[in-house]
Amino acid sequence: MSDRATCHDDFDPNSLPVPRALQFITEKIAPVAGFERLFLRQALDRVLDEDIRSPRDVPPFANSAMDGYALRGDDLPQAGTAELTVVGKAFAGHPFTGTVGTGEAVRIMTGTPLPEGADTVIMQERVEPLPGGRIRIQAGHRAGENVRQAGEDIAAGSVVLARGRRLQPADLGLLASLGIAEVRCRRRPRVALFSTGDELRPLGATLGPGEIYDSNRYTLHALLTRLGLEVLDLGAVPDDRAALAEALSSAAGEADALITSGGVSVGEADYVKGLLEELGEVHFWKLAMKPGRPLAFGQLGRCYFFGLPGNPVSVAATFYQFVAPALRRLAGEAPRRPLTLRAVTLEPLKKRPGRVDFQRGILENDEAGRLTVRSTGNQGSHVLSSMSRANCFIVLDQDQGDVPAGTEVTVQYFPDLL
């Protein structure tokens, strides 16, 4: 990476601020090339690779906003009442094909095209039906009322969905309303992952002394799936130079990005470092955040590399803060500022100044509807159950110390990820 120096010159690499690292990572990443045309039913959660312009006005024709009577604004009484003759009906799918003349009205239902000659709709509750197909209306109406004009929602030619949009259910309905059946979406990035560590055993194996199950791979696989990526799970790799070299180069050749967990802490990092430098360019950072201090980021050939720490909570936190935004960018999503909320902490929070803390929290409304947050308990970076119970990170600034109960704090709500 050419401007590697900037991040070392400006900041102490032993405590790289989180926003700086995030900016560096996202600036380095270019979206994958390649696209495919997809039918709407296949396009949910896919990233648009074109601006969608409306081929037509929406609504396509002026229509009634109410069940009532369509008439000419000129026939509205200024004072007293007026009587009109009902000359026909306009129901959904069966518009009135004649013209509404002076002194005439047409019975009309919501969404039905306004007949020729009419420019106003009076809601039925405000109309008095008379014998002989006549109606009486009072003064106090406005010409043009209760009419939805053609193009009022979307004008023909305007951009309704921009390139970089991750398509949501309502977007697909919107496209269908425009008669668009197919969209051009960016190719899904292919992301490889593997765990590192001699202590890791696969599910189904009996654990020997000092061995643990490889849980990170399951968390990461699920996170990548949620992001709509193609996942290539390469298993667990022992702490062995040859095995790692093999895994790294095969992943780099096959994937747009590689995510590993473990092996980036002090000591282990030095070991992996040499290997990675042979294959590409990688930075090892000590981030000013807790949990998840060590992080490696770089490129192995054309493959982006994210080396996450091994502790399961650190994996989730660093993924959420760095890898998810980076992969969204890789997938072609337009950048967006993450949404944070303010909530009152129901409990005191322990915090030492020095690093940004992403504590695991449970965000809820109290009976009064106020946003409150409480801690999930033990905040150790190995306590995965506390991550599993959480629905948000409580973000405590670098300089912040202990927080008393009742204080408003910043939270990142993640209902859909983690």
CA distances for 148 relative to 58, 65, 115, 143, 213, angstroms? 10, 6, 13, 13, 61
Q: Please, which residue, 26 or 215, has the CB nearer to ligand AMP?
A: 215
Angle between helices 241-254 and 268-279 (to 10 degrees): 40
The residues in 156-215 that bind Mg ion, with binding defined as CB under 5 A, are 197
Asked if 215 touches ligand AMP (CB under 6 A), the answer is: yes
Question: Which one, 113 or 263, has the nearer CB to ligand AMP?
Answer: 263
Binding ligand AMP by CB under 6 A: which of 83, 153, 199, 347? 199
Of 31, 68, 151, 197, the residue at the interface with ligand AMP (CB under 6 A) is 197
Given the rule CB under 6 A, which of 47-55, 129-137, 255-263, 298-306 is the region that contacts ligand AMP? 255-263
Look at residues 222, 289, 312, 269 and name the one whose alpha carbon lies nearest to residue 22: 289
Q: From CA 260, how far away is CA 217, in angstroms rounded?
A: 9
Q: Which of residues 62-121 bind ligand AMP (CB under 6 A)?
A: none
Peptide bond connecting 59 to the previous residue in cis, omega within 30 degrees of 0:
yes
Q: Binding to ligand AMP by residue 263, rule CB under 6 A?
A: yes
Q: Which one of 262, 294, 307, 361 is in contact with Mg ion (CB under 5 A)?
A: 262
Shortest approach of ligand AMP to residue 254 CB, angstroms? 21
Residue 309 interacting with Mg ion (CB under 5 A): no
Q: State in angstroms the smallest separation of the CB of 349 from ligand AMP.
A: 24
How far apart, in whole angstroms, are the C-alpha atoms of residue 313 and residue 326?
Answer: 19
Note the helical H segments in 122-259: 169-177, 216-226, 241-254
Question: How many C-beta atoms surround the C-beta of residue 67 within 10 A?
Answer: 17
Q: Which is nearer to ligand AMP, 315 or 394 (CB)?
A: 315
Q: What are the C-alpha distances in Å from 125 to residues 76, 87, 120, 135?
A: 16, 19, 15, 12
Smallest gap, in angstroms, from Cβ of residue 215 to ligand AMP? Answer: 4
The interface region with Mg ion, picked from 30-38, 180-188, 204-212, 303-311 by CB under 5 A, is 303-311
Among 57, 171, 214, 357, binds ligand AMP (CB under 6 A): 214
Size of residue set near ligand AMP by CB under 6 A: 18
Q: Characterise 45 by phi-psi region: left (phi > 0), alpha (psi -120 to 50), beta (else).
A: left
Tell me if 388 contacts ligand AMP by CB under 6 A. Answer: no
Tokens for 201, please give them. 């055993």
Cβ distance 106 to 118 under 8 Å? yes
Sites for ligand AMP among residues 308-327 (CB under 6 A): 309-312
With the CA atoms of 391, 397, 400 and 406 taken in that order, what torsion angle do they form, in degrees rounded to the nearest 10?
-40
Q: Which residues bind ligand AMP (CB under 6 A)?
A: 195, 197, 199-200, 212, 214-217, 261-263, 265, 268, 309-312
Q: Which residues bind Mg ion (CB under 5 A)?
A: 197, 262-263, 310
